[in-house]
Copies of this chain bind each other. A is one copy, B any other.
Amino acid sequence: MTELEAVEKIRKIAASSRRAGVTLGIGDDCAILRPPRPDEDLLVTTDLLIENVHFRRDKHSPAALGRKALARGLSDIAAMGGRSWTCFVSLALAEWVTPRWIDKFYEGLLKLAGDTGTALAGGDLAKAERVACDIVVCGTAPRGKALRRDKARAGDAIYVSGELGGSALGLETGKGAAWTRHAYPAPRLRLGVFLREKLGAKAAMDLSDGLSIDLHRMAKASGLAASVDRPLPAFRGTTLDHVLHGGEDYELLFTVRPRTEVPEEFEGIPLTRIGTMRKGRAGEIEMFGLPLAPVGYDHFRTR
């Protein structure tokens, strides 16, 4: 397969993905988009997914990978309380990749794109020794209203959505509901909008690298300390280590004013209060009275 043929193939696959605002998609030097309305902000996120680092080809089906590449970007849009708009896929293909693998990769990606109203508007193709995918997702939020990790206030109640640690458990065991959780993460797009519009949340982020490091990041960005003093919502079968330090749950971590009434769940996803933001050394996390080190999953650390 030549690059011309591969681009043509992807262009045909993506033709179903057109959306209002996309004047020109795949096939030219740039995509041409009509910008969001002036009363909206443009959100942009990029996420790498790399063979033998983020996935192994013998474990993940191409459809699951395409879906997950996009889900990671969508999760960042969700974390800002944004609405998804367009995506761009840069894909480096290794020699082992077959035309069928490419079909299935885009099939998985475009299924989730369709479900979330996201148009595939462009990207790049190259060959490489290992498969690597960089996904760019653009979204929108009302001007000045995007949720940010540096907007937590002292006294805010800290919440997480869903159950934690399932993805890390799935990565270990490779089976069951935990594996499904790992391989098919669900970006919490509607929840993000709900937090912003209905709960008046100002601070949120997605749990991509693990609660301990992500809460540390939010507290640090907001110039606050945090106390975790309530039971954590755990995925069935997980250990405390999975729940505290496991990556890739893609649930939302958010804060609201202490008296805000937060429902017990949103569309079936539990919302659980786990602690409180407080004045103190920026980024310092205490759990049941003891310091909690920001371990989490760090791409640069060898576990």
Chain A positions within 8 Å of B, measured between CB atoms, are 1-6, 23-24, 27-38, 40-48, 50, 52-54, 75-77, 79-80, 82, 86, 88, 90, 92, 121-130, 132, 134, 136, 138-139, 141, 143-144, 146, 148-150, 205-206, 209, 213, 217, 221, 294, 298-301
Contact = CB atoms under 8 A, between A and B. Distances in A.
A35 B206 CA distance: 24
Contact of A92 (B36, B37, B48, B217): B48
Contact of A221 (B27, B35, B217): B27
B134 A82 contact: no
A44 B31 contact: yes
Nearest to A31: B44
B35 A126 contact: no
Given A2-B298, A129-B129, 17 more contacts: A4-B217, A4-B298, A28-B205, A29-B76, A29-B205, A32-B146, A33-B44, A34-B42, A35-B40, A45-B122, A46-B122, A46-B123, A48-B128, A53-B129, A125-B299, A127-B300, A128-B132
Contact of A41 (B6, B28, B32, B36): B32
Contact of A43 (B31, B123, B213, B298): B31
Given A35-B42, A40-B35, A123-B46, A300 B1 contact: yes
A59 B127 CA distance: 20
The 10 closest A-B pairs by CB, nearest first: A134-B134, A29-B76, A35-B35, A30-B43, A29-B79, A33-B42, A30-B45, A48-B126, A3-B300, A35-B36
Contacts of A79: 29-30
Contact of A46 (B54, B80, B124, B299): B124
Contacts of A41: 23, 32-35
Nearest to A145: B32
Contact of A35 (B4, B38, B54): B38
A134 B28 contact: no
B44 A126 contact: no
Contacts of A1: 300
A162 to B, nearest CB: 17
Nearest to A140: B35
A71 to B, nearest CB: 13
Contacts of A36: 35
Contacts of A33: 41-44
A85 to B, nearest CB: 10
A45 B32 CA distance: 9
A161 B31 CA distance: 23
B46 A134 contact: yes
